Amino acid sequence: MAIKKILFPTKFRELSFNSLAQLFALKDAGLKEIILSHVISREDVGFVPFGGYLKEEEDRLREEATIRFEDWQKSLEEKGLKSKVVIKVGEPVPQILHTAEDEEADLIVVGRKKRTLNHPFAGSRTIEIVTRSKVPVLVSKYLVSYEVEGENLEKINERIFERPMLVCDWSEPSMRALKLMKSFQSVIEEAIVFHDINVEKIHEKYEDSLHELKKVSIEKLDMVCDELKEEGAGCETHLGAGKILNEIIRISRDRRATMIVMGTSGKGRLSEFIHGSVSHSIVRESELPTLLVP
Amino acid sequence: MHGDLGEILPLWSTIPFVGMLLSIAFFPLFAPRFWHNHFGKVTAFWALAVLTPFLIVYKGLALYEFLHIVLADYVPFLILLSALYTVSGNILLRGTLVGTPVVNTGIMIIGTILASWMGTTGAAMLLIRPFLRANSHRKNRTFMVVFFIFLVANVGGSLTPLGDPPLFLGFLRGVPFFWTFQLLPQMIVVAVALLVLYFIMDTYYYRKEDIPAPSESPEKEALRIDGLHNLIFLAGIVGAVLMSGIMHWGEMSILGVHRSTADVVRDGILIFMALLSWMTTRKEIREDNEFTWFPIQEVAILFIGIFLTMMPCLKILQAGEKGELAFLIRTVNEPFHYFWITGILSSFLDNAPTYLTFLSSLLGKFYPGVEAKEAVALLIQEHSIYLKAISAGAVFFGANTYIGNAPNFMVRSIAEETGTPMPSFFGYMIKYSIPILVPVFALITLVFYW
C-alpha cells in the first residue's frame, strides 16, 4: 500500500492550487503522478430546454480547464512529478469514482479548499465520495474558519503530513490506515496514535474489565507506535475516554495534529443514518484534513 | 358559472401565452446560452404578465381559474411525467448491441411499442443510450437519431394517455383510457411507412460504410436488463391511471377546487410508485443510465408558465362563437382542418397545450357552455373523428421539429453529447421532417380524414 498516483478532482475554486501543492511533499514517499481531473456538470451544457446540447459551451469549458491545468502541470513538472489531465462531462461523483478506478489511483483528494464559519467542513458530494470510494480519500481543508469555545479562529492547514494523528479502533480499515500511514512515514515528523475507550458505555459492574481494557489498549497503541518508529519518525500515543468525536477533536487540537487518519467501515447510507459514522462526523466537524481509508 | 369569462376576455389577453410559446420556439434557436441560464426568469415573466392583471381585475374568479388549471391539469401532468421518467430511468439495458439495420429497426419497433406504455420520454430515455452505443462504430448516425425521434419520441406514444402528454390532458378532461386505441390504424400506417423507409436508408448506408462483421468486434457482452423489477411499478402506473378513469368515488375540495377523489388517489399512487422505484433500485443503475432530474425540472418550470398563460386562451376558445376567437372556430371546420392545424401548431409550439387549445375549440364549437367532461363525452359519441384528428395531429406532428415534444430535445442533447452530429433546427425540418413526415401525414389525411 503506497501512494504512487493521486487523483485530484477540482472545480478550480479559490485555493485549489494551494491544496494541490500540499501533496508535493509525498514525492519523497514515492508519489509519481497526479491525475488532474475536472468534471463539467452536464447541467451546464446539456438539456437546453427545447433546444439541444451546448457543444460550443462544452468546448469553451474544456479549453478553460485545459489552460488552467497546463499552468498546474508546469509546477508539477518542476517538482519532478508526472501529471495527466482528465476532463469529463457528467455527474461529478460517479465520474470522479470512475476516473479513480480507470486510472488506478491510490488516493483521491477532495473537498472544498476554503471553509467559512456556519458551514460543515465537507459537503454532501465529498461525503458521498468518502462513502463510496474503494481507495483512500483525503478530504483537504486548506483554509478553515472555525469556532473554539466561542472564539472564531482561522487556520491554514499546511505541511499536513508532518504530524498525522492515526485514530485506531483495531478494525481492519484502521489497520489499513496504519499501513497507508507507514507508506509515507518518510515525510512524517511525529505521528500521534490515538484510541478511545468510551467509559460512559461501560457499566460500573465491568469496572475490572475497564482496567484490563485500558491496559490492553495502551499496549496495542505502543505496538502501533513502535511500527511507525521503525523508519525513524517520532511517535506519541494517547488514550481517550469519552465521546469519541469530541475526544478526537480535543486531542488533535491539544497535540497540534496536522491531519487525522482513520479507517472507514464503508457503512451504507441507511446504516450511517441509524448508527452514525465517526469518520463522516470527523470529516464534517474537524478543521483538520482527514485521510479516510476504506 | 365561470363560462362567461371566455365571452368577455379580449384577444390580447392571450399575448402572454403566445409570448411563452414563442420564447420556447425562438430562444433555444437564437440565444441558447441565455435561454439555458434564464429560462426560469423568462417563464416567470410571462406567468406574472398574465397573473397580475387577471388577479387585479377578476380577483377571486381569476384565482379560482388559475388554481383550477394548476391543480387539475398541471399537477397531475407533472406527476405522471415524473413517475414515468423516474421508473424508466431505473431500468438499464446493458450489453453489446451491434447496430445493423435489422437490430436498429428492432430497437425502433420495441421503442415504438413501449412508448404508449411508458411514455415517449420514458421509452426514449430507456433506449437512446443503448441505441447510440450500438451504433458508435457507424459513420452516418444522424438519420438514425432523427428516425428515433420520429418513432419512439413521438408516433409511438399515440395509443394511450400514458404515451404522450396531450393524450393525458385529454384523459383528464374525460377521454376514456382505451379510446385512444382508435388511433391504432393511423399509428400503424405512419410507423410502418417510417420503419420501411428507415430500414432502406440504414441498409444503404450500412453497405456503403463497409462495416466489419459483428464477429470481428471484440469483447461482446451478453444483453441484460438491470432494474427489471421496475416493470412492476410501471404496471402500477398503468393500473393507477386506468383506475382513475373507471372509479367514481365522488369529489373532494383542494383549496376550493373540486377534484375527483379517484384522480387524487391516482396521483398519490403514481408518487408512491416513483418512490418505490427510486428506493428499490441501485444508485449505480441510475448513474450508468446518466439519470438526472434536470430535464424534469426544466419541464416543471416551463409548463407552469405554459399552463398559467394558457388559461385565457382556453376560456376564449371554450366560449365558442361568443368568444374573441370565433373567427378561428368558424374557419376550422373539417376534420382534416383540425388534423393539420393542430399538427402544424404542435410542430412549433408544445403539443400538450396545442391539443388542449383545440379540444377546447371543438367543445366551444359543438357544445358551447356545456361542462367540459359532459361535452367531451358528447364529442366522442357524435363527432369522434374530430377528436381523432386533433389527437393524431398533436402526437404525430410533434416529431416535425425539435420543439414539438419534450423528449425530442432530450434525445438531441444526448446524441450531441455522445458525438452524433445533429442537424440545426431548420436543417432537421428541411432534410428530414418536411420530405419524410409531411408526405406520410398527407397519406394519413387521404386515408382517414378526406
**Contact state of B409 with A50 under an 8 Å Cβ cutoff:** yes
Nearest-angstrom CA–CA distance, B32 and B294: 16
Confidence of residue B28 (pLDDT cuts 50, 70, 90): confident
The set of residues, in sequence order, having a beta carbon less than 8 Å from that of A9 and lying 6+ positions away, is A37, A38, A39, A92, A96, A99, A108, A109, A110
- Which of A7-16, A120-129, B239-248, B268-277 is the least confident region? A120-129
Counted residue by residue, chain B has a size of 450
Cβ contact A52–B412 (<8 Å): yes
Closest approach of B135 to chain A, Cα-based (Å): 20
Tell me the residue length of chain A. 294
Answer yes or no: do B409 and A49 touch at CB < 8 A: yes
Rounded to whole angstroms, the Cα distance separating B64 from B62 reads 5
**Residue A175 near residue A197, CB atoms below 8 Å:** no
If one compares B416 and B441, the residue with the highest pLDDT of the two is: B441
Percent over 90 (pLDDT), chain B:
61
How far is A67 from chain B, CA to nearest CA, in Å?
22
C-alpha B265/C-alpha B272 separation (Å) is 10
Q: Which of B23, B278, B292 to mutate to test the interface with A (most CBs of A within 10 A)?
A: B292
- pLDDT score for A276: 54
Q: Within 10 A of B365 (CB to CB), how many other CB atoms are there?
A: 23
CA dist B143 → B37, B124, B200 (Å)? 30, 16, 12
> Across the interface, do A54 and B33 touch by the CB < 8 Å criterion?
yes
Examine the pLDDT at A214 and tell me if it is beyond 90. Answer: no
Asked if B414 and A50 come within 8 Å (Cβ–Cβ), the reply is: no
B406 neighbourhood in chain A, CB within 8 Å: 50
Least confident of A206-210, B191-195, B287-291, B318-322: A206-210
Averaged pLDDT score across all residues of chain A: 88
- Nearest by CB to B402, from A45, A50, A54: name it: A50
What integer pLDDT is reported at residue A204 of this predicted model?
Answer: 59
Per-residue pLDDT at B214:
56
* Residue corresponding to grid cell 465520474: A95
Q: Using 50, 70 and 90 to split pLDDT, how confident is the model at A267?
A: low
The shortest C-alpha distance from A2 to chain B (Å) reads 28
- Which of B412, B418, B428 is the best residue to mutate to test the A interface, defined by the most A CB atoms within 10 Å of its own CB? B412
* Average pLDDT, integer, range A26-52: 91
What cell does B348 get? 412549433
Residue B213 pLDDT grade (very low, low, confident, very high; cuts 50, 70, 90): low
Q: What would the DSSP string read from start to end of B67-85?
A: HHHIIIIIHHHHHHHHHHH
Ramachandran assignment for A115, one of left (phi > 0), alpha (psi -120 to 50 degrees), beta (any other): beta
B36 to A91: CB separation less than 8 angstroms, yes or no: no
All residues of chain B having their beta carbon less than 8 Å from the beta carbon of residue A49 are 24, 28, 35-36, 39, 298-299, 302, 409
**CB-based burial, B302-325: b 16+ in 10 Å, e otherwise:** bbbbbbbbbbbbbbbbbbbebbbb
Q: What average pLDDT does this structure show over B44-64?
A: 93
| CA proximity to B236, closest of B265, B196, B193, B200 | B265
| E strands present in chain A | 5-9, 33-41, 82-90, 107-110, 114-115, 137-139, 143-148, 151-156, 164-167, 190-197, 234-241, 259-263, 290-293
Q: Do B35 and A89 touch (CB under 8 A)?
A: no
- Shortest distance between the Cα of B227 and any Cα of chain A, in A, equals 18
Please, are residues A245 and A194 in contact by the beta-carbon 8 Å criterion? no
Structure confidence by residue, pLDDT tens digits, B347-360: 887 788 789 889 98
Mean pLDDT in residue range B274-300? 92
Of A52, A57, A94, the CB nearest to B413: A52
Quickly state the pLDDT bin for A268 (edges 50, 70, 90). Answer: low
| Contact residues on chain B for A90, CB-CB shorter than 8 A | 290
Q: Provide the β-strand partners of residue A85.
A: A36
Q: What is the pLDDT of residues B366-380, one digit of tens each?
A: 998 888 889 999 999
Q: Using alpha carbons only, what angle is made at residue A234 by residues A233 and A239, rounded to the nearest 5 degrees?
A: 130
Domains of chain A: 5-156 (3.40.50.620), 164-293 (3.40.50.620)
pLDDT, tens digit, for every residue of B328-339? 878 888 999 999
Interface test with B, best of A42, A44, A48, A50 (most B CBs within 10 A): A50
Where is pLDDT greater, at B32 or B348? B32
Closest CA to B12 of B324, B304, B319: B324
